[in-house]
Structure 1
Amino acid sequence: MESIFFVHITDIHLSKPGKQPLFGLTMSDKLHSIFAEIGKLETKPAFVVVSGDLTHDGDLEDYRFLRSFLQAEERALGVPIHVALGNHDTREPFREGYLEEEPSDASYYYSFMNDGLRVVVLNTQVPGSHDGYLDPEQLRWLKGVLAEPAPIGTILVHHHPVVATPTAMMDSHLLQNPQDLAAVIEGSDVIGLLSGHIHFHNIGLLNGILCASADGSAFGLDPMAEGVMRMVERSGYNYVLVKNGQMIVQPMMVPGEQRVLVEYDLKKLQAAHS
């Protein structure tokens, strides 16, 4: 059985040129650096998948810029780039600006095949919230997709992770109904789950199935910080290999100084909004 290698990127938080940069950083430059590293690989990936937070503000012009940016990277790399939506994304501007469709608030999820590997891209976003949830309609669709096994298995890509983190604060950012997802994929050909949202590498199991979150392209978070949300100037992504019926993940980091960008005291934030 031949192996398949691809790249998983997440939380790119792009904005159109001319906007005030988040943390003073140009996120498109950070993402371009990742694609430049991928372009140097001896083995070309079969595809790239981006698991949400495609833009920071979710504006129409941001998605138009995202479309042109990723199209240029696709041409340079010579492989397709697939995307999922995250909590910072908005559906109507995404469909109009990125997909060039009529604006619609319909949920965005789909599947594709690559040399016998099936990738299912889910939408865990809850409009107007940072929470993650898989609605019953999407879970029914997923069950139908998984009813027929793929030749070498299925990988799910979604924004909100399901694996517990080092802190209670970051555990609050997980998918709210992982048990519903676990019930649908039980006994199926799913070999792995890939996600983002938490802005650090985090690997664990969901009922014995490997789950891997990736560091953010735009910035990282300190996974061990208690009571604060500490943003760090750091970029990462995952190399993913499917081999012998398994998903194998190699976390990658872009070299940098890893300085603290900003730190939010959660108790003070809660007091200010109470």
Structure 2
Amino acid sequence: MKLIHISDIHINPEPILGIDPVANFRACLDHVAEFHADADRVVISGDLTHHGRRESYEQLRDMLGESPLQGDAAPRLLVGNHDDRETFRSVFPQAAADANGHVQWFEDVAAGRFIYLDTAQAGTHAGHYGAERRAWL
């Protein structure tokens, strides 16, 4: 199984500390498409955006739509502590969510089961794994 994991892309319309996260992410997508198109899964975990703003999610959606990584190779997205779950879900309405609104799901593939777990918790930068997530698992 070949898994590509990308994390903390921090999409933001302006540079962050002099670094352009949009240009970096485009280069990353191009690299994956050129050298790892045979990946079984591409997973992008949060922080997807730097401030959880709608315009950043829209920019991410547009970049992913333009990417050659589609179908099974289309990146699976997970929110992080800089993300806003509700805004994310409004821009990515197809994103799976459980009964509590957490962006989490599983999918079975030939090699086994992928479990995508939402550990974002409002008001903290720490990941959270509590009773709701345990019950879902």
Relative contact order: is structure 1 or structure 2 higher (C-alpha 8 Å, sep ≥ 6)? 2
Percent of aligned pairs with the same residue?
Answer: 30
Contact 2:37/2:69, CA 8 A, preserved across alignment: no
Bigger share in strand: 1
1:73-129 per-position Cα deviation (integer Å, ceiling 9, x unaligned):
2xx13422101110000111111122268xxx8221111122242111111111121
Distance 1:47 1:134 in 2: 24
1:164-214 per-position Cα deviation (integer Å, ceiling 9, x unaligned):
xxxxxxxxxxxxxxxxxxxxxxxxxxxxxxxxxxxxxxxxxxxxxxxxxxx
1:10 to 3, 7, 12: 7
Contact 1:66/1:98, CA 8 A, preserved across alignment: no
Whose Rg is larger? 1
Give the superposed CA RMSD. Answer: 2.0
Aligned residue pairs, count? 131
Contact 1:61/1:97, CA 8 A, preserved across alignment: no
1:105-163 per-position Cα deviation (integer Å, ceiling 9, x unaligned):
82211111222421111111111210111120111111xxxxxxxxxxxxxxxxxxxxx
Q: Return the TM-score normalized by structure 2.
A: 0.85
Shift of 1:46: 1.7
Distance 1:41 1:31 in 2: 15
Q: Return the TM-score normalized by structure 1.
A: 0.44
Shift of 1:10: 0.3
Change (3 A) 1:65 1:42: closer
Bigger share in helix: 2
- 5+ residue gaps in structure 2? none
Residue 23 of structure 2 is matched in structure 1 by: 29
Residue 42 of structure 2 is matched in structure 1 by: 48
- 5+ residue gaps in structure 1? 143-274
